[in-house]
């Protein structure tokens, strides 16, 4: 293990390192104090093993002391939190800034790469790794920490979630990179602070929720290696591309099928594997992950199968649901069988039949859907009075969808049909028996 002086340790601290030490909320409050000039002059001990400062906050002044620890800086403050508070963060930020200013200027290319990839620093402990086991689509994706053995092979021994998060067993984490330990502890906390129940010994990708991609990215920036298998031979990769969840529509003789697809420009995945809770798209057999947008808006929509609309309900789907669906999502048809722009010609067809009580009038809608027209009809009945038989159009075969009767005249009782723009009424005589 490399032993660094306190000044070297503080100069190499990145924002990710500090967040791993104290958490994002405390880091943000410390940033606010540092930016406001709340930190007074830094006072170093003669041997450089400790520094002190006073930090003003809400009219009070708190004494902060930072000393060199075995694997991380030891922080102490006079506030009620005593340690790992915004005042200690503000002191760390000012110390790091002053120490960097006194050192030779950094070339632009290293500064840019440091910002993009994370700081390259001397490790103050052994690195950790994380297995993201997403090979089996039928089970939840699990996360398992790894540490090096004496032979430098990756192993799960003494690296369980309980080993790394149980603060009373400090001997287990002695010698490990403190930033890695802190980041994994943060992931464990994020996974178990939600409403869903999870065993204390496990962490799943879905349990991390919306924090999953950001947290995994921070692990990579801090130098935690990601693997797709426990042997440490197959890497797990985070893609920087962002996909969109869209809706694909196909039609056949049974009706219409709606299916969620993943789209990235011209590239479309017809059967994507999506972790809805984490908002991630799992690619390449579970060895790569990318962000996917729009999944939350599809709450309740099946992801692993198609949503089927029966042929008899296609007219209702087109008229009542398709316009709203197109306003919220990109609607396409992978096989070209469905045209969202098309406006089928709808004909309202009626039959007139006379019985002993008077005249009975019933009507239904006829329309075409898809490239190959076909016939579909259902018997309609109203109020238990008689039945209408399906009849084929005289000129061509079309799909006929039976709608709930919109009007009837029978024996002096009349319910007037509502005229609708673009729909014609064609009253025909009774069907031939």
CA distance 320 to 69: 66
Q: What element of type H or E holds 171?
A: helix 170-173
CA distance 407 to 404: 9
Per-residue pLDDT of the chain (433 residues; tens, 9 = 90+): 334 578 878 887 878 788 878 888 899 999 999 999 999 999 998 888 899 999 999 999 999 999 987 667 889 999 999 989 999 999 999 998 888 877 666 677 776 776 666 555 555 678 999 999 999 999 999 999 999 988 888 999 989 999 888 866 667 888 888 888 888 988 998 888 865 667 888 999 999 999 999 999 989 988 899 999 988 889 999 999 999 999 999 998 889 999 999 999 889 999 999 999 999 999 999 999 999 999 988 888 998 899 999 988 888 888 889 999 998 888 989 888 998 887 767 778 888 888 777 788 887 767 665 544 433 344 333 443 333 333 333 333 333 444 444 444 444 444 444 434 344 444 444 444 4
**Is the pTM here over 0.85, yes or no?**
no
Residues near 317 by beta carbon (within 8 Å), at least 6 away in sequence: 256, 309
**What residues form DSSP beta bridges with 169?**
none
Helix/strand/coil (H/E/C) assignment for every residue in 277-346: CCCEEEEHHHCEEEEEECCHHHCCCCCCCCEEEEHHHHHHHHHHHHHHHHHHCCEECCCCCCCCCCCCCC
CA distance 295 to 227: 26
């Amino acid at each position: 293990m490399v032993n660094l002086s306190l000044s070297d340790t503080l100069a190499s601290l990145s924002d990710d390192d500090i967040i791993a030490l104290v958490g994002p909320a405390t880091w943000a409050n410390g940033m606010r104090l540092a930016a406001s000039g709340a930190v007074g002059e830094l006072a170093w001990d003669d041997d450089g093993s400790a520094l002190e400062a006073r930090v003003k906050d809400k009219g009070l002044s708190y004494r902060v002391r930072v000393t060199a620890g075995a694997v991380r800086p030891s922080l102490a403050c006079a506030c009620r939190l005593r340690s790992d508070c915004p005042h200690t963060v503000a002191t760390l930020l000012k110390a790091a800034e002053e120490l960097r200013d006194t050192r030779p200027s950094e070339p632009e290319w290293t500064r840019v790469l440091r910002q993009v990839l994370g700081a390259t620093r001397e490790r103050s402990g052994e690195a950790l790794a994380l297995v993201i086991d997403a090979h089996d689509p039928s089970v939840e994706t699990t996360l398992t920490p790894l540490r090096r053995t004496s032979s430098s092979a990756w192993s799960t021994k003494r690296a369980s979630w309980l080993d790394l998060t149980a603060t009373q067993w400090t001997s287990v984490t002695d010698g490990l990179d403190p930033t890695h330990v802190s980041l994994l502890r943060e992931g464990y906390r994020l996974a178990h602070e939600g409403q869903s129940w999870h065993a204390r010994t496990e962490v799943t990708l879905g349990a991390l929720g919306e924090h999953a991609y950001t947290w995994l990215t921070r692990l990579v920036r801090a130098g935690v290696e990601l693997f797709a298998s426990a042997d440490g031979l197959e890497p797990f990769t985070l893609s920087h591309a962002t996909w969109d969840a869209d809706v694909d529509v196909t039609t056949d003789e049974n009706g219409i099928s709606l299916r969620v697809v993943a789209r990235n420009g011209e590239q479309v995945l017809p059967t994507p594997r999506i972790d809805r809770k984490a908002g991630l798209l799992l690619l390449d057999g579970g060895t790569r992950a990318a962000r996917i947008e729009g999944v939350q808006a599809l709450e309740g929509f099946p992801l692993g199968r198609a949503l089927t609309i029966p042929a008899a309900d296609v007219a209702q789907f087109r008229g009542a649901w398709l316009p709203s669906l197109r306003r919220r999502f990109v609607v396409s048809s992978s096989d070209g069988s469905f045209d969202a722009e098309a406006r089928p010609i709808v004909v309202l067809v009626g039959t007139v039949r006379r019985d002993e009580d008077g005249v009975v009038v019933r009507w239904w809608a006829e329309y075409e859907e898809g490239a190959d027209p076909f016939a579909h009809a259902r018997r309609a009945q109203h109020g238990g009075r008689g039945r209408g038989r399906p009849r084929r159009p005289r000129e061509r075969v079309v799909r006929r969808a039976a709608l709930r009767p919109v009007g009837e005249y029978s024996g002096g009782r009349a319910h007037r049909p509502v005229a609708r723009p673009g729909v014609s009424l064609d009253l025909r005589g009774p069907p031939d028996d």
